[in-house]
Amino acid sequence: TQLLVSSTTNMLAPSAKLYNARARANVRAPSVRAARRHVAARAAVDTPSATSPATSSSSSPSSKRTVVITGASSGLGLNAANSLIKNGWHVVCAVRDFAKMEMKATQMNFPKDSFSVYHCDLASQKSVRAFAEALQVDGVNVDVLICNAALYLPSGRARWHPQFTADGFELSMASNHLGHFKLVHELFPLLKASAEAGRKPRCIILGSVTGNTNTVAGQVPPKANLGDLSGLAEGAPLADKSLFDGAKAYKDSKLCNMLTMRELENRYNDSGIIFSSLYPGCIAETGLFRNHTNVFRFLFPLLQKNLTKGYVSEEEAGERLATIAESEDTAESGQYWAWRGGGDDLVENYNTKDRGTPIKNQPSTDVQDDAKAKKLFEISMDLCNISEFGAPAPVAAAKSKVSTA
């Protein structure tokens, strides 16, 4: 089914050969420095300060457990926030758009003292650092970090022409992987403080069925492939130095997300932090697909609901993510979680009535490649200018409110 949809949308898209021929001339010639200079001026004007005060509560009550969710203003992140707030959590919403988050919180009837809103643009390393500094200055505890936000550019001009951030990174990799990598580094001391206080913190990085080549969806071209990672290290648009494809850039970044979780578990399994990844099911009607074709957005939910039975609503997916964040049944570190109903297995989607119990899923051999996970981690540290992971530069005037409650 997904192969059919992919083929349909690819036929409607402009010729890949034509665009990739242009990409050879237009993308590889400019240097990373040129990309930085080109975007820096816009970033300086368009990006609000991440140290702006929260629009709701400026710090989380120490009596509540606190979760940071990136991309909390829509889709999976918003619905996970809703589920966790109902269960008594304080949610720190790391978003780019204050007004949108406030509007969504009002629509979802979030109690005013149940959430805080901070600016965080994952495509900007400076913004991620400033967000982390703001949390520390405000004395915000972090018991769970959910790296959820993602950018997907599968159609139109953006599919064949890479965009670069002010830091010189391809936009999808910057937003989906490197921004979250930097964020985990910056908030690591707060997660460790939570562990020392006996609060059993968790770090959750969203995976994707499309980044796992041992699934039907993972076999839909273009497939995730990081090669030897030299492209990422050298500033090429794609990690394997292949011609740019926005759909592949997303899949590659999700493979990086899952490899990062694996390497975090390998390096810091004695930290007291629980590291997890998951595939919450096919959320076929979500803002992630806002950049896809109209044909895809119309057909894909119908096919998932009526043929593959893999369809999962945003609300159900949010509940699933919340389960990984708080359930004692999912407190085993290093796991990639999934569900039998509304998952990536066609037979189980039809035959399983249990849609609420998470299972330990088997990721692809690429995701289980520890050598590649280590190499990716080291390259990401270099790109993010990290000399010692989990030990960011101290923040002046930071205060701690960690409670053992």
Question: Are residues 169 and 383 in contact, defined by beta-carbon separation less than 8 angstroms?
Answer: yes
Question: Of 315, 251, 247, whose CA–CA distance to 281 is shortest?
Answer: 315
237, β-bridge pairs:
none
Question: Of 312, 304, 241, 236, whose CA–CA distance to 279 is shortest?
Answer: 312
Stated pTM of the model? 0.83
Q: How many CB atoms lie within 10 A of CB 18?
A: 10
Residue 397 has what pLDDT? 59
Residue 298 has what pLDDT? 81
User: How far apart, in whole angstroms, are the C-alpha atoms of residue 154 and residue 139?
Assistant: 40
250 is catalytic: yes
DSSP string over 129-157:
HHHHHHHHHTT---SEEEE-------SSH
Question: Of 315, 401, 324, 402, whose CA–CA distance to 360 is shortest?
Answer: 324
Residue 62 has what pLDDT? 55
Amino acid letter, residue 4: L
Q: Which member of 19, 118, 152, 250 is catalytic?
A: 250
User: How far apart, in whole angstroms, are the C-alpha atoms of residue 266 and residue 270?
Assistant: 9
Tokens of 154: 């599968």
User: How far apart, in whole angstroms, are the C-alpha atoms of residue 380 and residue 384?
Assistant: 6
Give, for all 405 residues of the chain, the pLDDT tens digit. 333 334 333 433 333 333 333 333 333 333 333 333 332 323 333 334 443 444 444 444 456 899 999 999 999 999 999 999 999 999 999 999 999 999 999 999 999 999 999 999 999 999 999 999 999 999 999 999 999 999 999 999 999 999 999 999 999 999 999 999 999 999 999 999 999 999 999 999 999 988 888 887 788 899 999 999 999 999 999 999 999 999 999 999 999 999 999 999 999 999 999 999 999 988 877 777 677 888 877 887 787 778 777 889 999 999 999 999 999 999 999 999 999 877 777 777 777 778 889 999 999 999 999 999 999 999 999 999 999 999 999 987 555 444 433
Question: Are residues 282 and 304 in contact, defined by beta-carbon separation less than 8 angstroms?
Answer: yes
Tokens of 72: 């909390």
Question: Are residues 308 and 1 in contact, defined by beta-carbon separation less than 8 angstroms?
Answer: yes
Question: Of 280, 288, 286, whose CA–CA distance to 250 is shortest?
Answer: 288
